[in-house]
Amino acid sequence: MLRLISDNTSFKFIKLKLVSFSFSAIVCMASIFSVIFIGLNFGIDFKGGILLEIRTTSNIGIAEIRNNISNLNIGEVAIQKFGVDSDYLIRVEKQEGSDNAQQIAVEAIKSTLNASFGEDIKYRRLEYVGPTVSKDLVSDGVMAIIFAIIAMLAYIWFRFELPFALGAIVALLHDIILTMGVFAVLGLEFNLATVAAILLIIGYSMNDTVVVYDRIRENLRKFKKMNLNELLDKCINQTLSRTINTTVTTILALGALYIFGGQIIADFAFAMLWGIVVGTYSSIFIASPILVYVNVRRNKETES
């Protein structure tokens, strides 16, 4: 059968650790800087505001729509094409004032558009989030990510040992930081679905890491005398074929989703795709080599 990589690879991953660590450190720093200086493009879930998706039947352009809405005094309005030519996405910034303000602004926009274009536009989607809810959603999102990290830490600690848990968490933070970084650099909308994607990335990255760690634990018992660097390399190589095959099938599945799944799901699929690539990289180049530094206990019978 086809082997993407040969059966007995013996890449020296651990030797590369200084290179991979510095590379990751630089990219992580760059990500953090982009998040701070470029900033994340928060969607209405977290920022509050209004989003309207409309489909037009005659040749209505962005300028015409903008002219209609611009004198409503509703703050900043962004209009963009969305998917097919006749679809537009209208975003309006959060309306100050009471929780009712969004609803009032929506009615104003709709009645203006209806008056100007009548039957020529159809509303495909309408979302608005008031200030109270957006605050709740931010805290829910942050809590979910923190809880997920703690849960992973606890699980790895429970199933393996503390040093493994530390290694896994470094890899996890690495993946989360890089995902946020790419969202900042590309200006992709950061919303509830992105948080869901980050949680999935946390799960997937751990999944990948656990497979390698599991092998490390097994080999620590089997080869008690083997030098740790050599042993880690052996484990990564032994699981390499699986890591690559799983990554490929997942990328195939998510790639199909990204390309054919429609506009709404595309960013979500992209975030997951990115996370899976990053997660695979980190479980090979970060999570395992870092065990060299965290004092993995040898010679003691580790239970499974």
Partner 1 sequence: MLIFENWKRILVLVVSTFAIIFSLPNFLSKDLVNNSLSFMKSGEIRLGLDLQGGSYLLLRVESESLQTDRLNSLSDELRLAMRSASPRIGYKNLKVSGTELIFTLVNNEEESRVKGLIDSIDKELIFNKDSYNNIILSMSEDKIKEIRDYAILQSIEIIRRRVDEVGTNEPLIQRQGDERILVQLPGLDDPERIKKLLGKTARMNFRLVNETASIEESLSGRVPPGSDLLFEIDERTGEKSIPYVIYKRIGVSGDQLVDANPTMDQNNQPVVSLRFDTSGSRKFGELTSKNVGKRFAIVLDGEVISAPVIREAITGGSGQISGNFTFESASDLSVLLRAGALPAPLTILEERSVGPSLGKDSINAGMYAALISIILVIIYMVIIYGTRFGVAANISLMVNILLIIALLGVLDATLTLPGLAGIALTVGMAVDANVLIFERIREESRSGRSDIGAIDNGFKEAFRTIVDANITTLLAALILFQFGSGPVKGFAVTLALGVITTMFSSLLLSRGIITFWYNKFKPTSLNI
Q: Show contacts with partner 1 in window 18-47 (CB under 8 A).
A: none
Q: How many residues are listed for the chain in this entry?
A: 304
In 93-215, DSSP assigns E strands to 121-129, 189-190
Compare residues 34 and 191 and give the one whose CB is closer to partner 1.
191
- Residues near 91 by Cβ (< 8 Å), separated by ≥ 6? 44, 49, 50, 51, 52, 77, 78, 79
Among 14, 180, 182, 254, binds partner 1 (CB under 8 A): 254
> Exposed, middle or buried by CB within 10 Å (0-12, 13-18, 19+), for 57?
exposed
Fill in the per-residue mask, 45 to 84: x = in contact with partner 1 (CB under 8 A), - = not in contact.
--------x-x-----------------------------
Applying the rule CB under 8 A, the residues between 115 and 174 that interact with partner 1 are 122-130, 132-133, 137, 140-141, 143-144, 147-148, 151-152, 155, 159
Applying the rule CB under 8 A, the residues between 105 and 124 that interact with partner 1 are 106, 110, 122-124
Applying the rule CB under 8 A, the residues between 262 and 281 that interact with partner 1 are 262, 264-265, 268-269, 272
Q: Is 210 in the site for partner 1 (CB under 8 A)?
A: yes
Q: Is 5 in the site for partner 1 (CB under 8 A)?
A: no
Compare residues 26 and 252 and give the one whose CB is closer to partner 1.
252
Compare residues 17 and 275 and give the one whose CB is closer to partner 1.
275
CB of 153 to partner 1, least distance (A): 11
Determine the size of the site formed for partner 1 (CB under 8 A).
Answer: 78
DSSP β-bridge partners for residue 122:
55
First to last CA, the chain: 33
Compare residues 31 and 247 and give the one whose CB is closer to partner 1.
247
